[in-house]
Amino acid sequence: MYIDIFSTGIRLGDYNVKNTTDCVDTTGITECSDPLEEFGIEKVIIHPKFVHNYSKNENDIALIRLDRTVTYTDYIRPICLPLHGTKLAEVGDTLLMTGWGNKDDNKPLAEIKKKVQSKLISDEECTNFQLYGRYLTKDHFCTKDIEQNNDFSCKGDTGGPVMYSSNLQWHQEGVISFSASGCGTVNPNVHTK
């Protein structure tokens, strides 16, 4: 979920942005989600050490307080944050990113939420790529999209979750920060821890 200073609301439970209710047909049975929920933004709490500097992208993370309480459903659930002792992803592990960014460099924004598998790479491997004037800090980590994906990380996915499953429990390891360049498997994605 990308939030910028122009955002006016938050939408939960969405999958296809063209529909208010999403349905799938599996083996002749149609199952539909609950209608999406829209919330206002009560407050945006920016990281106290955030510095708006293109080259650093340091501490580029914030919390958003919604204007009312969320009621959880089968389609709206929070993701866990890793507790002390939770196994975090290691170099070579597969993480999952989601978003509605561009489908490709020259294509429009996705209408259906993308699921992108990406491998965690080392900081050393990441810095071997041209980061176009940006650099990594201790609060970043990098992934590279897996070639077998149907979708790839691209412009517009910034702010989306970077998730990892350990012992059948998903948790969020970071937030998409920026891409070294373009979409697809050539360049790495950089994430804020």
Q: Are 84 and 171 in contact (CB under 8 A)?
A: no
Write down the pLDDT at residue 132.
65
Q: Are 96 and 115 in contact (CB under 8 A)?
A: yes
Number of domains the chain contains? 2
d(CA 10, CA 64): 9
Residues 115 and 175 in one domain: yes
Residues 42 and 111 in one domain: no
DSSP classification of residue 123 = H
CATH at 156:
2.40.10.10
Domain boundary among 26, 51, 66: 66
Residues 47 and 123 in one domain: no
Residues 133 and 169 in one domain: yes
- pLDDT tens-place values along the chain, 193 residues long: 444 555 688 999 998 988 888 888 888 899 898 889 999 999 999 999 887 776 667 888 889 999 999 999 998 999 999 989 899 999 999 999 999 988 877 778 899 999 999 999 999 888 877 666 677 888 899 999 998 888 888 888 888 999 999 988 999 999 998 876 667 767 788 999 9
Specify if 77 maps to a domain: no
Write down the pLDDT at residue 1.
43
Of 44, 45, 47, 37, which is closest to residue 69 (Cα–Cα)? 37
Specify if 184 maps to a domain: yes
Residues 104 and 176 in one domain: yes
What does the block give as tokens for 165? 């499953």
Residues 33 and 105 in one domain: no
Residues 132 and 186 in one domain: yes
d(CA 109, CA 135): 27
Residues 99 and 188 in one domain: yes
**SS3 labels along 40-53:** EEEEEEECCCCCCC
Of 66, 79, 56, which is closest to residue 174 (Cα–Cα)? 79
Q: Can you give the residue range of the structural domain that contains 149?
A: 94-192
For the entire predicted model, the pTM comes to 0.86
Pseudo-torsion of CA 60, 67, 155, 183, nearest 10°?
A: 90
Domain boundary among 46, 66, 86: 66
SS3 content of the chain, % helix, strand, coil (to 5): 5, 40, 60
DSSP E strand stretches across the chain: 9-12, 23-26, 29-32, 37-46, 62-66, 94-99, 114-121, 140-145, 161-166, 169-179, 189-192
Domain boundary among 66, 86, 112: 66
Specify if 19 maps to a domain: yes
Residues 54 and 115 in one domain: no
Q: Is the backbone of residue 184 left (phi > 0), alpha (psi -120 to 50) or beta?
A: left
